[in-house]
Amino acid sequence: MTSAEPQFQTVGSGAAARQIAVRSEHADTAKTGLFWLSGFKSDMSGSKAVAVANWARVKGYSVTRFDYSGHGMSGGDFEEACLSDWLEETQAVFDACCGDNTIVIGSSMGGWLAMLLALARKDSRKIKGLVLIAPAADFTEELMWKHRFTDEIRKTIMETGRFEQPSAYSDDPYVITRKLIEDGRNHLILNRSLQTGCPVAILQGAKDPDVPWQHSQRLVEALPLDNVTFTIVPDGDHRLSWPEDIDLLLCTIDRMISHRP
């Protein structure tokens, strides 16, 4: 395999250009590759991303992961970024680093980006399958704006352009910008029937406070023509990072590679 030392890929042009940190390991004999997409405010050094990369290395599969702009080692200002930027980076890294028969693994926001990537690249047939962990499709609108934000918070965002939301996973708050909310509306997918043309496996914690299992169920219902499996972990939280959760994730990837139902 090639080294997993981070390389930097330029995405965008002019004032919009940013340096995206990518770790891509290519196995010469691999027939399947893995592409990891992290969640909102997460990066490629997270426990699930590292576990997938280590497992792929042992199994001899190619694996690519990267940091979105404003995340991890990548350049860019988080507060200036939005889903359109992260989708552009996802597509650019995928096109540059991933070959045929790629399984895309998306966690939380990464699940939304994985769906958008699969829909955009449907005709290329490069994507062999999707493994989605608590997929937060449309989260800016459905989970934040409509359900969690009060009238006061929505007013703050519209008038000041930002709101600092306390995080259960970090001492630093999540800054939610007006740009993020408004741009997210350009990428909503749960308002229509979808077809990726590949198998989709969804892993969801029943006790997830951030992406309720009912939200993931909406994505299942939006994919009537795809081969979808929906696995609920009874005591699972949003991260699904306990050892048994990681084992379930790796087994799910392995089954998709092997075409086992």
Nearest to residue 188, comparing CAs of 219, 163, 164?
219
Query: Does the annotation count 170 as an active-site position?
Result: no
Distance of alpha carbon 230 from alpha carbon 11, whole angstroms: 34
Residues 156-192 as b/e (b if ≥16 CB within 10 A, e otherwise) read: bbeeeeebeeeeeeeeeebebbbbbbebbeebebbee
For 206, other C-beta atoms within 10 Å of its C-beta total: 12
- 169 secondary structure, DSSP code: S
Check: CB of residue 231 under 8 Å from CB of residue 216.
Answer: no
Nearest to residue 218, comparing CAs of 241, 239, 202?
202
| Annotated active-site residue in 24, 38, 74, 108 | 108
| Annotated active-site residue in 183, 208, 210, 245 | 208
Which residues are within 8 A (CB) of 193 and not within 5 positions of it... i.e. 6 or more apart? Answer: 222, 224, 225
Query: Does the annotation count 147 as an active-site position?
Result: no
Query: Does the annotation count 45 as an active-site position?
Result: no
Cα–Cα distances (Å) from 56 to 4, 31, 49, 51, in that order, read 12, 12, 11, 9
Q: Active-site residue numbers? A: 108, 208, 238
